[in-house]
A and B are shown apart, each in its own frame.
Chain A
Amino acid sequence: MATEPQINWAAIDADPRFQELHRRKSRFLWLLMVLSVVYYFLLPIGAAYCPTLFRAQVWGPINFGILFALSQFVVAWLIAYVYYRKASREFDPMAEELARTAASIARPS
């Protein structure tokens, strides 16, 4: 790895652009993560403790329980899509900008 250019990691870490990326990304990721976990666990908990609701027939013989289980797929895909859009439009350009200038970011005095 002799060709590897020296990178000042601490300087990038302290760079306001990186701090901004970190702040936006963490908030967004953990929000989606909590949303996904909470929504998922509503399924086994709901099935166990709200049997009447799950039994309610909504569309012919199709009951709320089946629709709710199907909605889990839609929500998982939606979360993936929302993250994908946000990451490609917002996080990627910020990270690329940092990567491009990485070699020239010096340690702040």
Chain B
Amino acid sequence: MKLSKTLALVATAGGLAASPSAFAFFKGAAVPERFGWLALVAFAIIIAITMYVTYRASKRVTTTQQFYAAGRSISGLQNGWAIAGDYLSAASFLGIAGLISLYGYDGFMYSVGFLVAFVTVLLLIAEPCRNIGKYTLGDILAFRNDHKTARLMAAISTITVSIFYLTAQMVGGGLLVKTLIGIDYDVSVIVVGLLMLAYVVFGGMVATTWVQIIKAVLLVCASLLLVVCTWAPYGFSLPAFFGGVVTDPKVQAQVAKLLGDAAANMSASQLGQRFLEPSLYLKNPIDQVSLGMALVFGTAGLPHILMRFFTVPNAKQARLSVIWAMIIIGGFYLLTLLIGNGAAINVGAATITSLDKGGNMAAPLLAQYVGGGPESALGNLFLAVIAAVAFATIVAVVAGLVLASASAISHDIWVGIVKGERATQAQEVRAARVCALIVGAIAIVIGILSKGQNVAHLVGLAFAVAASSNLPCILLTLYWKRCNTGGIVLGMIVGTLTAVGLVLVSPNMTYPQTEIATAQKVIAAAPTKHATLQSAVDAAPEPAANAKARAALKKGDAEATAAEATVTKFSGQTTSLVGLEKPLTQLKNPGIYSIPLGFLGVILGSLLWRRDKKAEEMWEELYVRQNTGIQAELL
């Protein structure tokens, strides 16, 4: 009774956004004000379906195995969809389509690493983890090491990685909902948070899994439809489609803008062709390799992905789930290539960036275009559907992250360390629910506090920390006999600190002096620019051209005002968060240093630690178990 009431309450909170008063917020959003109700209906349908799933699940979730691992009843195919649901965050759905629409080839290259990452998961991680793990990363690391120490390190690392990832999702999600349908940032963060809490607290892993599956299926279907509509005019021919990209004036203009002076001697067709070539976005090859390392090795260390392998009955199904996940995720990124380029031709970089600088609106605006344009009902219906799918994506990913952190706190810290592994099922499930509530509340607070912060690099950092601390510890405890508690401790510390430390001294941070210098350049150029634009206004007599020139003038003046605001904001500050005047390194992605150092940390820590009899005795059990799955069903 109490449960259904609470669920109704959450649904109302979700519906709050759907109340007529919310229509006032639609100004300046991607969905025009008069079509706002379409978006709200689409949101309401998705919320209603997932709430029903949660309600059904909540009746089943009474044991720890149900709460943390969905009773190990998820099949390989279902888990493959759920992994795709966990992995395809709004950043990869909207972000990569956006990068491709603005920068062409480099955006696509970016997506490749996200797929290749699963080869590591398939070959080295999925099956052994299923064979020796119970519910968390801590279970794997504690298998042959000191239980309390290993659990503590695993829990801290799980929470660190999840919080970085979570912050990026909450801030990105809040902004996205605001840009799409104009709902206030704080309101959307709270709605996302409450919905996610309802899934996790009441439905545990059962509801979270089904929410991931529903969301992944919706995401793939919507993308397929978008691709069919975009590609059909080219007769589903790849060369014809790319021919359309290369010859499009909007694409050519975007390349000319990106290249600046270098584009002066290039013909229109050369500019168009340049869009399909590397290095319009990714300029530093070392940085790219570094990012690639973080993606390829980090995915296997993401706690919310690892946790998915505990939901299947055996190692064979774990293997099958990675195979399905690779088919779905790979297929999805191939669709993104067409969506991104389709948005570049049909919508154009200028329109996309006018709503969101990072390009996140590329896919939604393409949906609006193929449906008939900004004035059509069908176009806005399609846009509303894409917006609702993006919203479901954010909620589902956040739910997975919160569940992973809550499990680390309740299973590893509370039951494993505080209670010394002595707690009844009912006690542990209650503890897990309380932890989920706490983590969820923290996520909402972080989301609201980080409003307006640049958090884009936090996803990269989450991957880098996972690759530098979790992966070395998991791999070496699974495959190296000499690995022991000392190695886990040193590896976790070195990996996490170097990854975070390198980002703190990197160009990702804000450097007041650089910001002021850039702003002052704009201010210095402002009077000349104003005069040029003003004369353009005077020289344009016909109304259309005049309005355009006026808009340009207004934009130029706004830039100057913004630059002055920047100078005021940073005046008096000379150093970044960690007291630096300028970055110590030009590297934006720390992986290339922090990953080898993480491995070195585990190796040195293990060798320096006293010879650990237990870890070496347990090695045979661990090694036999992970390869054969003997007694895995008893875990």
* Residues of chain A whose beta carbon lies under 8 Å from any beta carbon of chain B: 1, 4, 7, 9-10, 12-13, 18, 21-22, 25, 29, 32-33, 36-37, 40-41, 43-45, 47-49, 51, 54-55, 57, 59-63, 65-66, 69-70, 72-73, 76-77, 79-81, 83-84, 87-88, 92, 95, 98-99, 102
Contacts and interface: CB of A to CB of B under 8 A. Distances in A.
Interface string B311-340: 000001001101100110010011000000
A48 B118 contact: no
Contacts of A60: 239-240, 242-243
Of the four ranges (under 10, 10 to 19, 20 to 34, 35 or more), the interface on chain B belongs to: 35 or more
Interface in B24-52: none
B119 A44 contact: no
Nearest 10 CB-CB pairs, A to B? Answer: A60-B239, A48-B285, A47-B278, A9-B621, A44-B288, A13-B620, A36-B119, A95-B628, A61-B242, A40-B116
Tell me the interface secondary structure of chain B in the complex: helix
A73 B320 CA distance: 18
Contact of A13 (B239, B322, B624): B624
B241 to A, nearest CB: 9
A66 B243 CA distance: 13
A61 B276 contact: yes
B115 A76 contact: yes
A12 B319 CA distance: 23
Interface of B: 105, 108-109, 112-113, 115-116, 118-120, 122-124, 238-240, 242-243, 245-246, 272-273, 276-279, 282, 285, 288-289, 292, 296, 316, 319-320, 322-323, 326-327, 330, 333-334, 620-621, 623-625, 627-631, 634
Given A44-B288, A72-B116, 13 more contacts: A7-B631, A13-B624, A22-B627, A43-B292, A45-B285, A47-B105, A48-B279, A48-B288, A61-B242, A66-B108, A77-B330, A80-B118, A95-B627
A59 B292 contact: no
Contact of A44 (B109, B238, B246): B109
A80 B277 CA distance: 29
Contact of B112 (A9, A32, A54, A73): A73
A36 B627 contact: no
Contacts of A80: 118-119, 122, 322-323, 326
Contact of B296 (A29, A32, A40, A45): A40
Among A21, A61, A72, A73, the one with the most B-chain Cβ atoms within 10 Å of its Cβ is A61
25 contacts: A7-B621, A9-B624, A9-B625, A12-B624, A13-B620, A13-B624, A22-B627, A32-B119, A33-B119, A40-B113, A40-B292, A44-B109, A44-B289, A48-B279, A55-B277, A62-B242, A62-B276, A66-B108, A69-B108, A69-B109, A72-B116, A73-B333, A76-B115, A80-B323, A88-B316
Contacts of A51: 277-279
Tell me the interface secondary structure of chain A in the complex: helix
Given A1-B634, A47-B279, A62-B242, A29 B333 contact: no
Among A44, A51, A92, A99, the one with the most B-chain Cβ atoms within 10 Å of its Cβ is A44
Given A9-B620, A40-B112, A65 B278 contact: yes
Nearest to A18: B624
A50 B109 CA distance: 15
B630 A7 contact: yes
A51 B278 CA distance: 7
A41 B109 CA distance: 11
A61 B243 contact: yes
Contacts of B277: 51, 54-55, 63, 65
Contact of B330 (A48, A57, A73): A73
B261 to A, nearest CB: 19
Contacts of A48: 278-279, 285, 288
Contacts of B629: 95, 99
Nearest to B119: A36
